[in-house]
Structure 1
């Protein structure tokens, strides 16, 4: 059994990972921590930052700094979860890809390699309504989908 855990950096995705690890421990399954980095997010943040700081000419510099921080942040979160898996004697690996989240998640989840997909109910924004990515994915992911709140 292989469990795909979607990690977006939110506390909800980290909580989902904890549930996946508990399931994997009971079922002797492998956990794959999966994250998609979307450069469009870095561009949008850089644009907003440069507009607010009146430094529109430095947008590319801001974008590169933000992109590095995004990659560093998600890698640190996943490495912490990887360490927890090892402490719990759960076989685990991590995979970080670049692209559009919905497309990359669908490609990975529907590859036929997973028995279960686990994700948080909410994303990084922490809004009280179900995450928009979840709404898009829920009906088209082929394996069973466990949504953690």
Structure 2
């Protein structure tokens, strides 16, 4: 059925649920799993929604985000080891999260994308998150969205 599954995580509770589901499905189907998290650049102007800081501070914040991202995908890797699922962890730096997910899915030749209905920015939303909506609309493979 599925041979290569991609799961996107941002460390939120809902994306952890998606990761657990992806691991279970990968184990059931014998698929490999790609765990991806996308870290954006720190916004540097008021227009981008940030407080003005110098470039060294922005680099520190981005390094912290990458370290957190590493924890997210490392936990999926470890769970995969425990369950006998091959997991490739990927951290992508890109301001366009959905495009990074779609590009990675194409590069890794996945046949299923699994993601949460919304991430950290959309916890309070009742509708699909904009990143999820973009992936769902533009993916060339099936997308399983968990709520």
TM-score under structure 2 length normalisation: 0.85
8 Å contact from structure 1 (residues 45, 63) kept in 2? no
Q: How does 1:92-103 map to 2 (within 5 A)?
A: 92-99=87-94, 100-103=96-99
Q: Does 1:145 align with 2:140?
A: no
8 Å contact from structure 2 (residues 80, 87) kept in 1? yes
The residue number in structure 1 matching 2:5 is: 3
The residue number in structure 2 matching 1:120 is: 116
Cα drift, residue 49 of structure 1: 6.4
The residue number in structure 2 matching 1:108 is: 104
CA distance in 2, matches of 1:144, 1:96: 22
Root mean square deviation of aligned Cα? 2.1
Runs of 4+ in 1 over 3 A off after TM superposition: 44-50
TM-score under structure 1 length normalisation: 0.84
Cα drift, residue 35 of structure 1: 1.7
CA distance in 2, matches of 1:113, 1:32: 10
Structure 2: 5+ residue stretches without partners: none
- Residue 143 of structure 1 aligns to a residue in which SS? coil
8 Å contact from structure 2 (residues 43, 50) kept in 1? no
CA distance in 2, matches of 1:112, 1:65: 30
Higher RCO (CA < 8 A, seq sep 6+): 1
Q: What are the Cα deviations for residues 47-100 of structure 1, in whole angstroms up to 9, with x where unaligned?
A: 8664xxxxx4x4323312210110000101111111111011111111112222
CA distance in 2, matches of 1:9, 1:44: 24
The residue number in structure 2 matching 1:63 is: 58
* Among 17, 21, 25, the residue aligned to 1:23: 25
Cα drift, residue 111 of structure 1: 3.9
How many aligned residue pairs are there? Answer: 141
8 Å contact from structure 1 (residues 110, 143) kept in 2? no
